[in-house]
Amino acid sequence: MDKTFQEEFTQIIKFEPPLYKQRHQFVKDLVEKYKPKKVADLGCADCSLLWMLKFCSCIEVLAGLDICANVMKEKMHTLSPLPVDYLQPSERSLTVTLHHGSVAHKDPCMLGFDLVTCIELIEHLDESELKKFPEVVFGFMAPSIVVISTPNSEFNPLLSRVMSYRHPDHKFEWSQAQFRNWALEAARCYGYSVEFTGVGHPPTGMEKVGFCTQIGVFLRKYPQTGELVQSEKPTETVYKTLLFKTVKSKENTWKKINKNKTPQHNLKNPPTSKKECRILNCMNQNSLHAKNICNSVLDGIHGGLNSSFSFFNSLD
């Protein structure tokens, strides 16, 4: 690369929107294209991608996994249902779960997902974790779609302040060929096809460098083979659950019981059945104690690693 040309760009490359937002938008677009119902985000960190996906109406189950409980706890309260989710329930149910554990381990709670996202995760894995990763994600979890993003080391010379790796915790950063070889091998072993793309365009005239963030989208070639595969899968739980939240759909909540009354109307008229009582109680609690919800979440945050709490997780 011409040094003067390179120096000129190291001064000016700034992505707009920022690269992390472009990566998350990429996942959102994928969700809108394939409409998965169950999505798991591995290496979910501060849950910001999960928060964004919460608003995709096709998703009914969202799960996050990270090896660092503290980073997940920072903003996990943003995943809690809002009072409006109960007062104006949508057409779909949404269950959000956060797990503390490693992608190097298999846990049955990670089975049954349609889409698994691994955004800027693999470069944080050490050699032994990276070796186990394809078997856990493609072999065990075996979702229809896997999306993996990782830095493209060929872009690094264009970034100011990047001397070696982009982050001190990165164990490696791959060139386009290295990522390609690894991804093609994983896809071949576990029956996936893979398409390569990325976000963060290189400057005009430097297209060979590739995207700043390289992305592989893996699509499972064959339908899952059902019982035999399932029976071989371990059932032992290894992850710790940090958070579990469910908002039932409109159909499953008050509308089902009382078609003609608004929630306000219901509050003025005493409930007649035990079930109605529980639902209205739940709604009241939500509208009157929104603050308490926040406080409970904060309690949970301060409650330590083993804490597992849930609100309104079943009305039926």
Given the rule CB under 6 A, which residues bind ligand SAH?
Answer: 20, 23, 43-45, 49, 65-68, 71, 102-104, 119-121, 124-125, 129
Bond before 83 cis per omega within 30 degrees: no
3-state DSSP: the chain helix, strand, coil percent, rounded to 5? 45, 20, 35
- Shorter beta-carbon distance to ligand SAH: residue 29 or 299: 29
- Shorter beta-carbon distance to ligand SAH: residue 67 or 142: 67
Q: Can you state the angle between helices 127-134 and 176-190, rounded to 10 degrees?
A: 40
CB 122 within 8 A of CB 174: no
Min dist CB 181 to ligand SAH, Å, is 22
- Shorter beta-carbon distance to ligand SAH: residue 52 or 315: 52
Q: What is the dihedral of CA 156, 46, 52, 147, to 10 degrees?
A: 50
Min dist CB 115 to ligand SAH, Å, is 14
- Shorter beta-carbon distance to ligand SAH: residue 126 or 299: 126
Q: Output the CA angle 268-273-279, nearest 5 degrees.
A: 65
- Look at the chain and count its residues: 316
- Shorter beta-carbon distance to ligand SAH: residue 131 or 233: 131
Min dist CB 54 to ligand SAH, Å, is 15
Report which residue's Cβ sits closest to ligand SAH.
43
- Shorter beta-carbon distance to ligand SAH: residue 104 or 257: 104
Min dist CB 169 to ligand SAH, Å, is 7
Min dist CB 292 to ligand SAH, Å, is 29
Q: What is the dihedral of CA 165, 48, 148, 166, to 10 degrees?
A: -10
Min dist CB 24 to ligand SAH, Å, is 6
Residues 285, 272: Cα–Cα separation, whole Å: 18
